[in-house]
Structure 1
Amino acid sequence: MKDTLERWLGTVFGLVFVALSLLVAVETAMRKLFNISLQGADELGGYALAVGATIAFSLALLGRNHIRVDVFHEHLPRRLQTVLNWLSAVSMASFAALMAWLAWYVIQDSRAYQSVSQTPWATPLVYPQTVWLIGLILFGALAVGIAAVATWQLLSGRSDALNTMLHPRSTREEIKEELDDLQQRGTAADTLPTSNHAPSIQAGAA
């Protein structure tokens, strides 16, 4: 489930910025060749960054990539580490819920004032802000879900499972992840079909 969600979020994130890069390329070519501008690349770039940031929040949460100051974490008693790990999940859930709640009021203000972008397109801001809110709601739902699981594990005495889920990523874990990724790439490369010209070259050499 986690891997599937990460794959889908990563795919959406990549597609957003691939589409943006293509738009910027077309905009640049049209300006250079025909002296014509779409007058919307900058605006769409801002929307892509806002939406992409919310997707990145969720990806970082699932991959335990949000920054934590863990200089003293490894040297603390195991029980205190468990409490701090649980506190990190609850703090992240509270922060994510607050962001989604404030974003909802931003959209309400945009709707009330009929706010539009200060660009030639004059896009009603409620539309891109709604997509932005959806990304924040997803981030909030994931953070609250992780905090709920962590709270259940804490109350049921499953401190090892809690620490495994929420422990700050160590350098050893990051190295292992990179090595596993390299191994998977090597395995995928080995499964590629070899060139049909190799036998003929060997035959010629013989």
Structure 2
Amino acid sequence: MFQRVNSLLDRVLAGVQVGSLWFARAGGVLILLTVALVTTEVLTRQFTGRSAVHATELTGYIMAISASWSFAYTLMCKAHIRIDALYLNFPMKVRGVLDLVALLAMAMFAILVVDAVFSVISASYSGGSTANTPLGTPLWMPQALWFLGLVWFGFAVCMVSLRALFGLLAGDVEGVQKLAGSPTLDEQIEDENKGARS
């Protein structure tokens, strides 16, 4: 039974990996847009003496959106910062349990954040809130894009948590380590070498 569930979750996680990569790429494009906006802002102020694009407001939205869109990809690449001085000295089964606890804590945090942000968007939309700037941006618009990234991250961390849980129940400790474990220094060096060769 666990084998079938794990196989299904592996397929879901393959889709999550692809979706997360595209969200991260879109976030990168938004960062490049920020560079273009700031450059345009500087040049127009230099030559015309006034702002043409309101870069300060727009780049604030873009930074929040692009950050939330990158969270899931960071999770899938195991790139979140971890303090693992003791962790790597534990047996593999203990590390698997610790990985699951960490994932469940992150999933709970993600769900709480998604709930809070949904409340903020609802209030902004129902109240007709706009930015107190010359653009007067309806705040629900950038908040909805920010929310989208947080929802995707919440979904991703919940799927990884489920896969880790069922992996542990099936006795696949090495699979859980590969999916959610903190990489050792040797594994990090090997990944860097693979990246350099490709």
Fold shared by both chains (TM-score > 0.5): yes
Give the structure 2 partner of residue 38 of structure 1.
Answer: 52
> Residue 99 of structure 1 corresponds to which residue in structure 2?
113
Deviations 1:25-65 (A, max 9, x none): 11111111121312520111111111111122112101101
Distance 2:191 2:197 in 1: 10
| 2:146 equivalent among 126, 129, 132 | 132
Q: Which amino acid in structure 2 is aligned with residue 85 of structure 1?
A: D
Letter in 1 for 2:185: T
Distance 1:6 1:103 in 2: 20
How does 1:123-202 map onto structure 2 within 5 Å? 123-184=137-198
> Post-superposition shift, 1:173?
2.2
**Residue 77 (structure 1) shift:** 2.8
Displacement of 1:158: 1.5
Count of aligned pairs between the two proteins: 184
Q: Residues 167 and 93 (structure 1 numbering): CA distance in 2 closer, same or farther, change over 3 Å? A: same
Give the aligned CA root-mean-square deviation in angstroms.
Answer: 1.6
SS at match of 1:90: helix
User: Highest Rg: 1 or 2?
Assistant: 1
Is 2:96 the partner of 1:79?
no
In structure 1, the residue corresponding to 2:130 is in which secondary structure? coil
Q: Confirm whether residue 53 of structure 1 aligns to residue 67 of structure 2.
A: yes
Distance 1:79 1:71 in 2: 17
Per-residue deviation at 1:183? 1.4
Q: CA deviation at 1:170?
A: 2.2
Gaps of 5+ in 1: 185-206
Q: How far apart are the structure 2 equivalents of 1:91 and 1:101?
A: 16
Whether the aligned pair in 1 keeps the contact of 2:103 and 2:161 (CA below 8 Å) is yes
Q: Percent identity?
A: 28
Deviation digits for residues 132-177 of structure 1, max 9, x if unmatched?
1111000001011111111111222222211121110222222222
Normalization by structure 2: what TM-score?
0.86
Where does structure 1 differ by over 6 angstroms across 4 or more consecutive aligned residues? none
